[in-house]
């Protein structure tokens, strides 16, 4: 949250904007990698499983991570 606020310029000029942009890019990549998954336990490309976690991962956690990654990419490329 602080990184996105810094990227949007809400924090001030404490750190250069490029630092916030780089940190936003890293956060975006991490959430995107989480959404894609490790092809075993988490993410969109995991094998089907009957566990409660796999159910919620497919329907909530992975789409949420993808949304966060896309939102951070949008903020990074189109700052307000």
**Domain coordinates in residue numbering, the chain:** 2-77
Does residue 79 register a pLDDT over 80? no
| Cβ 45 vs Cβ 66: under 8 Å | no
Q: What is the pTM of this model?
A: 0.86
Distance between terminal CA atoms of the chain? Answer: 16
For 2-71, the three-class secondary structure string (H helix, E strand, C coil) is HHHHHHCCCCCCCCCHHHHHHHHHHHHHHHHHHHHCCCCCCCCCCCCCCCHHHHHHHHHHHHHHHHHHHH
**pLDDT tens-digit readout, 39-50:** 889 999 998 888
Confidence bin at 10 (pLDDT 50/70/90)? confident
pLDDT at 80: 59
């Amino acid at each position: 949250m602080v990184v996105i606020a810094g990227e949007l310029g809400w924090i001030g000029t404490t750190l250069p904007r490029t630092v916030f942009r780089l940190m936003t890019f890293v956060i975006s990549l991490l959430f995107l990698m989480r959404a894609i998954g490790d092809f075993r336990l988490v993410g969109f490309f995991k094998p089907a499983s009957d566990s409660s976690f796999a159910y919620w991962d497919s329907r909530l956690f992975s789409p949420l991570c993808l949304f966060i990654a896309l939102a951070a990419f949008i903020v990074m490329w189109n700052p307000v």
